[in-house]
């Protein structure tokens, strides 16, 4: 076989250099992303006073213990702490449960509502179809802070304040989720639907039995994003909920910061333990995530 030409050798060398720098860049970005998580994990096992005085760091020589988690779960001598800390500690799993219920409800209903809206916009031709889709996309440019007060007033008028429905109903028709589903379904071959109609399948059957299984990667991708958004949401639930028994994890952790003392050790431990559900959801749907993102990105 003939030797490589100088041009080919140069291209190969440039490719190796490019690969090296790309790998180094990704490694650096990964380290920057992982750094606060690692510091938070280490800080959750350290003494609260040390965290306040020295901050979080990668110091591996500092003593570690489960005291922060024991205090958080009200398992370690509750009488030794201030009353406000004891109350908050004993409510941690209540906040956790409230967040789980609210997140699960929000994800399921949002995905179903957005799926059927996107199905109608992508599978059927009707007047004002383009205008309706434009209006959906236009809402993405409106900051939630502008809509927050009118939404809160409407929620109060219809009697949904201090309820889970008041939190998740305004976000069921998420424009970004509708857009993603529509783009994904537009990229699918329409011959499948035509064949199903010829075989006598109803429109309802097509949407449920044919399109829904095909769009499983899109469901998985949006499930992760919706779950993250709902789980981390604090501002809107804080406005809607008045009863402390309905507080979500994010609101509850915020109550650990009081005028009489900031319990950063409990806050860090509670935050790290609160990451677990999102990690589980990601691990479950991870294999569909890339497929869903790439398939819905372009038409064809």
**212-237 per-position pLDDT tens digit:** 988 988 898 899 999 999 999 999 99
Q: Residue 257: pLDDT band by 50, 70, 90 thresholds?
A: confident
253, containing H or E segment: helix 249-254
Predicted pLDDT at 106: 96
Q: Which of 259, 262, 243, 227 shows the shortest CA–CA distance to 91?
A: 243
Alpha helices in 170-275 (DSSP H): 175-186, 191-198, 203-205, 212-214, 216-232, 235-240, 249-254, 264-273
Domain ranges of the chain: 6-77, 88-297
Mean pLDDT in the chain? 82
Longest dimension (CA), the chain: 82
Do 187 and 200 contact (CB within 8 A), yes or no?
Answer: no
| Residue 275 φ/ψ, nearest 5 degrees | -75, -20
pLDDT of residue 80 exceeding 70? no
pLDDT of residue 255 exceeding 60? yes
Cα–Cα distance, 277 to 89 (Å, whole number): 19
Predicted pLDDT at 74: 67
Of residues 127 and 237, more confidence is placed in: 237
Region 263-290 average pLDDT: 84
Q: Residue 79: pLDDT band by 50, 70, 90 thresholds?
A: very low
Cβ atoms within 10 Å of 290's Cβ, excluding its own: 11
| Least confident stretch, 52-61, 168-177, 256-265, 291-300 | 291-300
| Least confident stretch, 42-51, 163-172, 201-210, 275-284 | 42-51
Predicted pLDDT at 158: 92
As given in the structure block, the two tokens for residue 87 are: 């109350």
Cα–Cα distance, 188 to 86 (Å, whole number): 55
261, containing H or E segment: strand 261-262
Region 30-49 average pLDDT: 84
What separation in angstroms does the CA of 142 have from each of 121, 165, 166, 222, 278? 21, 22, 20, 21, 27
Cα–Cα distance, 31 to 28 (Å, whole number): 5
Cα–Cα distance, 250 to 238 (Å, whole number): 9
User: Considering the chain, what percentage of its residues have pLDDT values greater than 70?
Assistant: 85
pLDDT digits (tens, 9 = 90+) for 91-103: 888 899 999 999 9
pTM of the model: 0.81
Let me know if 289 is exposed, middle or buried by CB neighbors in 10 A (0-12, 13-18, 19+). Answer: middle
pLDDT of residue 136 exceeding 70? yes
Cα–Cα distance, 256 to 268 (Å, whole number): 10
First vs last Cα of the chain: how many Å apart? 40
Do 245 and 113 contact (CB within 8 A), yes or no?
Answer: no
Predicted pLDDT at 6: 73
pLDDT digits (tens, 9 = 90+) for 173-209: 899 999 999 988 888 877 888 888 888 888 888 888 8
Region 48-74 average pLDDT: 75
| Least confident stretch, 114-123, 233-242, 249-258 | 249-258
Region 57-72 average pLDDT: 78
pLDDT of residue 75 exceeding 70? no
Q: From the options 1.10.3720.10, 3.30.70.2860, 3.40.50.300, 1.20.1050.10, give the CATH code of 88-297.
A: 1.10.3720.10
3-state secondary structure of 99: helix
Predicted pLDDT at 3: 58
């Amino acid at each position: 076989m003939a030797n490589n030409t100088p041009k080919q050798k140069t291209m190969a060398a440039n490719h190796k250099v490019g690969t090296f720098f790309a790998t180094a860049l990704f490694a650096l970005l990964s380290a920057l992303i992982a750094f606060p998580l690692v510091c938070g994990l280490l800080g959750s096992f350290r003494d609260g006073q040390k965290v306040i005085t020295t901050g979080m760091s990668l110091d591996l020589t500092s003593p570690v213990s489960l005291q922060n988690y024991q205090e958080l779960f009200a398992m370690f001598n509750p009488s030794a702490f201030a009353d406000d800390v004891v109350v908050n500690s004993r409510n941690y799993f209540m906040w956790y449960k409230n967040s789980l219920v609210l997140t699960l409800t929000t994800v399921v209903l949002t995905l179903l509502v957005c799926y059927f809206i996107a199905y109608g916009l992508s599978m059927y031709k009707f007047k004002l179809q383009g205008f309706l889709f434009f209006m959906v996309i236009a809402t993405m440019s409106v900051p939630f802070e502008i809509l927050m007060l009118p939404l809160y007033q409407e929620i109060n008028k219809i009697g949904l304040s201090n309820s889970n429905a008041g939190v998740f109903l305004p976000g069921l028709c998420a424009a970004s989720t509708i857009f993603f589903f529509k783009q994904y379904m537009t990229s699918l071959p329409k011959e499948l639907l035509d064949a199903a109609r010829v075989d006598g399948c109803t429109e309802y059957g097509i949407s449920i039995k044919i399109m829904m299984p095909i769009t499983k990667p899109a469901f998985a991708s949006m499930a992760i994003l919706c779950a993250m958004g709902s789980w981390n949401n604090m501002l809107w639930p804080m406005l809607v909920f008045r009863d402390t028994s309905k507080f979500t994890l994010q609101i509850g952790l915020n109550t650990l910061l009081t005028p009489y003392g900031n319990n950063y050790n409990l806050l860090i431990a509670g935050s790290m333990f609160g990451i677990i559900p999102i990690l589980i959801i990601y691990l479950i749907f991870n294999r569909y995530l890339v497929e869903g993102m790439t398939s819905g990105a372009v038409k064809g």
